[in-house]
Chains A and B, each alone.
Chain A
Amino acid sequence: MQNPYLPYPVRISEIITETEDRNLKTFKYVFIDPEDEEKFDYQAGQFAELSIAGKGEIPIGIASSPVEKGFLKFTVNKVGLVSTHLHNMKVGDVMGIRGPLGNWYPWDIMEGKNVVIIGGGFAFTTLRSSIVYMLANRDRFKEIHVIYGARTPGMLLYVDELKEWEKRDDIHMHITVDATDDPDWKYNKGFVPTITDQKAPPGTDDTYAIICGPPIMIKFTQPVLEKLDYAHDHIIMSLENRMKCGIGICGHCNIGRHFVCKDGPVFTLNQLNNMPKEY
C-alpha cells in the first residue's frame, strides 16, 4: 500500500518575483529522484500540495504545463504560515510536493472546440498551464481567446510570456488592467467582466469558457457569459477551499456530496448550481 500522504522530495531550482508588490513568487522545482517525475503525471488544471517540513502543506495549482518537462512550476501568493515561509526559502532548498491532485479542465470534451480563458489576478496559474498546453497542441483546438486582467500592469503574472503570446496570430489575447497612468500601456483598461463583454466570442455549442479569479470577478463575469449565450455546462470554473489531505479523506473541503480536492477543483457552472454555495 502506497502512503498517499508522503510527498516527493524536490529542490527549488529557480525563484522569480512576479509582481510589483512582491507578494507573488514563482517557484520552479526539480525532483530529487528522477523516477518521481515519471510518477507525477499531470494535466493542466490540477494542483499539488507543497509540503514544508515543520510548517505544513498548501494546495497550489500547477502553473507549469504537462508539455514542459524536467521541472514543475507554482506561483504562490504570500498569505499564511506555509506560503510566508516558502517566500523566504532559497534556490537549492529541499522540500516536498505531493500530487498531482484533483481533476482537470475537460480537455477531452474541449478538443476541437473554441476555448475562452478568463482569468483575474493571481488565479492565472493553471490557466497559464492550459494556454501552454493548448499552444503546444494547437491543431487540437479551434479559436483560443484569453482575457486576463490585474489591478495594475505590475500585478500581471508571466509578463514575458504574455508579450510572446500577444505576437502570435493563433491566439487572441485581451490583456487588461483595472487602472494605470502608464502612458505606454497599449492594452485594455477596465475590469475583466467589461472586457469579456467586449471581446469574448458568443456562446455556441462549440465554445467553452474557463474562468479563474477572485470571487468578485466571477460574480460579475457570470452574467456577462449568460448574456453572450454560454450554456451553464459550457462555463468551467475552478474552486479553492481550505484543504488538508488533498485526496478526499480529511473532510475539510467538503461541499455537498463533493470534495473540492478530489471531485474538483474543476466544476461546471451547471454542477455548481446544484451545490451549496460554500466556497
Chain B
Amino acid sequence: MLEYTEKIREISKQLLKECKVDMVIGFRKGTVPMMNEPTFIKSADEVGQLVWDSNCGINLANYLTNRKENIGIIAKGCDSRNICVHLVENKIRREQLHIIGVPCKGMIDKTKIADLFGKEILNVEEDGESIVVEGDGTAKVYKKKDVLQENCAICIHRNPVIYDDLVGDLVEEQKDVDRYEDVRKIEAMVPDQRWNYFDDLLKNCIRCYACRNACPLCYCPTCFVDESRPQWVGKSIDPTDTRTFHFLRAYHCAGRCTDCGACERACPVNIKVRTFTKKLEKDVKELFNFEAGLNPDVRPPLDVYKTQDPEDFIK
C-alpha cells in the first residue's frame, strides 16, 4: 500500500502543473501514531506532503460538499462510493472532480491496536501485511488482517467504483463475507435485552457530534438536533435525547450509508456507532436489494417510488 504514496504524488503533481484541478484533497502524515490528517494541496511543489498508508480511514468525500473548485481527490473504495452518493444528491458535480482511485486493502483500527498493545503506543509502522507497534521499550507485530477496522474486515467494495486514475492494480474483492453477523445477533435479542444493549452502547455519549460531522452524508444545513422551531430533540445528555439523536441519524442515512466507518473512527469515547447504521444498511439490502454509492446514475430506494416496493411494514 505504501507504494501508492509515490503514485499519488506523481498524479497530483501532474494535475496541479497542468492546472486540471485547483486543489488535490488527500492525507498528510499525522502527528500521532495511526492518524493522518486530511489536507489540500494547491501547488505542485507541495505534493510531497501527500501520503498513503493504513491510517487513511477518514472519508474524504466529506470535504467535497458544496465545493466550487475543480478538485483532485484521493478515493479508496468507500470514499468513491460516497462520491457517488454526493453526485446523486447534487453535492458536487462530476466535471469538477478528478478522482485518483486507490485500491484499498483496509484501514487499521487504532482502538483495537491500542487495546491489544496495552501500553502507550509511540510508533506504528507497516510492512506489507504486518503492522509493527512500538512503545514503552517493546515492539509487537500484528497481522494486518487481524487489526483491520471492523467495516474494512467485511468490506466487499475495496476497489474504487468510480475513478479517473488508479494508483495501483485493482485488488481482489473479499468474497463469502458475512456482512451482518453482528446485526443478526441484535435482531435475535428480546426487546428488553436489546434496549439494555443500546443503553449500554450509548452510555458514554457526550453529544459532541463527531460521528455526524465525520459522515459525508450528514451535510444538512441545519441538523434536526439543532433546530429550535420546533425543537425535536433536547440538548442535554438525557439518555432519551441521546438515543433519539443516534436512531434518527441512522434513519437519515438509510439507503445512503456505505459503511465507511468514519463515524465509528471519529468517536472520542469508542461508541460502536455503526451498530445503528448497519441495521438500516441490511434492511435496505434485503428490502430493495440496494447498496449505496455503487452507481452515480441510480437514485437511492428511499428517494424513488415503485409499485412493487415492499410495504409489509404498514400494518
Quick check: is B229 within 8 A (CB to CB) of the other chain? yes
Contacts of A80 in B (CB 8 A): 228-229
Return the chain B residue nearest A82 by Cβ: B228
> Within the assembled complex, what's the spacing in Å between the Cα atoms of A60 and B285?
53
CA distance A52 to B228 in the complex (A): 15
B229 contacts which chain A residues (CB < 8 A)? Answer: 80-81, 84
Measured CA separation A137–B228 after assembly (Å): 44
Q: Roughly how many angstroms separate A81 CA and B231 CA in the complex, as a whole number? A: 10
A80 to B228, CA, bound (A): 9
Chain B residues with a Cβ closer than 8 Å to the other chain, count: 3
Q: How far is the CA of A80 from the CA of B231 in the complex (A)?
A: 12
Give Cα A81 to B229, complex, Å: 7
> Total A-B pairs in contact (CB under 8 Å)?
6
Question: Please, how many angstroms separate the alpha-carbon atoms of A149 and B176 in the complex?
Answer: 74
**Closest-CB distance, A84 to chain B (whole angstroms):** 8
What residues of chain B lie closer than 8 Å to A84, measured between beta carbons?
A: 229
Q: How far is the CA of A142 from the CA of B205 in the complex (A)?
A: 62
Query: What is the total number of residues of chain A having a CB less than 8 Å from a CB of chain B?
Result: 3
Residue of chain A at shortest CB distance from B228: A81
Select from chain A the residue with minimum beta-carbon distance to B230: A81
B229 smallest CB distance to A (angstroms): 5
Chain B nearest CB, measured from A137 CB (Å): 42
- Can you name the residue of chain A whose Cβ is closest to the Cβ of B229? A81
Which residues does chain A contribute within 8 Å of B228, judged by CB atoms? 80-81
When chains A and B are docked, how far (Å) is the Cα of A84 from the Cα of B231? 14
Nearest-neighbour CB distance to chain A for B230, whole angstroms, equals 9
Indicate with 1 or 0, residue by residue over A83-104, a CB within 8 angstroms of chain B CB atoms. 0100000000000000000000
Give complex CA distance A81, B228 in Å.
Answer: 7
Give residues of chain A (13-28) contacting chain B, Cβ–Cβ below 8 Å: none
How far apart are A18's CB and chain B's nearest CB, in angstroms?
23
Interface membership of chain B positions 225-254, coded 1 if the CB is closer than 8 angstroms to chain A and 0 otherwise? 000110100000000000000000000000
Bound form: Cα–Cα A84–B228 in Å: 12
Shortest Cβ gap from A12 to chain B (Å):
22
Nearest to B231 among chain A residues (CB) is A81
A184 to B229, CA, bound (A): 42
The CA of A191 and the CA of B268, in the complex, are separated in Å by 53
Please, how many angstroms separate the alpha-carbon atoms of A84 and B229 in the complex?
10
Chain A residues lying within 8 Å of B231, measured Cβ to Cβ, are 81
A37→B79 CA distance, assembly (Å): 62
With both chains docked as a complex, state the minimum distance between the C-beta of B231 and any C-beta of chain A, in angstroms.
Answer: 8
Contact residues in B for A81 (Cβ distance below 8 Å): 228-229, 231
CA distance A84 to B230 in the complex (A): 12
* CB-nearest residue of chain B to A56: B228
Residues facing A in B199-233 (CB within 8 A) are: 228-229, 231
Per-residue CB proximity of A172-202 to B under 8 Å, as 1/0?
Answer: 0000000000000000000000000000000
Q: B306 to chain A: closest CB distance in Å?
A: 40
- Within the complex, the shortest CB–CB distance from B225 to chain A, in Å, comes to 15
Instruction: Encode A213-228 as 1/0 by CB contact (under 8 A) with B.
Output: 0000000000000000
Closest CB in chain B relative to A250 CB, distance in Å: 14
CB distance from A202 to the nearest CB of B (A): 46
A64-81 interface bits toward B, Cβ cutoff 8 Å, 1 = contact, 0 = none: 000000000000000011
A134 to B231, CA, bound (A): 44
Bound state CA distance, A215 and B149, in angstroms?
50
- Give CA–CA (A255, B229) in the complex, Å: 27
Bound Cα distance A4, B228 (Å): 25
Query: In the complex, how many angstroms separate the beta carbon of A252 from the nearest chain B beta carbon?
Result: 14
Give A246 to B228 CA distance when docked, in angstroms: 20
Q: Nearest Cβ in chain A — how far from B226, in angstroms?
A: 13
Q: How far is the CB of B235 from chain A (nearest CB, A)?
A: 11
Q: How close is A272's CB to chain B, nearest CB, in angstroms?
A: 29
A162 to chain B, nearest CB (A): 34
A81 to B230, CA, bound (A): 9
Interface positions of A from 120 to 146, Cβ below 8 Å from B: none
Can you name 6 A-B residue pairings with CB atoms under 8 Å? A80-B228, A80-B229, A81-B228, A81-B229, A81-B231, A84-B229
Interface residues of B (CB under 8 A from A): 228-229, 231
Q: Which 6 A-B pairs have the closest CB atoms?
A: A81-B228, A81-B229, A80-B228, A80-B229, A84-B229, A81-B231
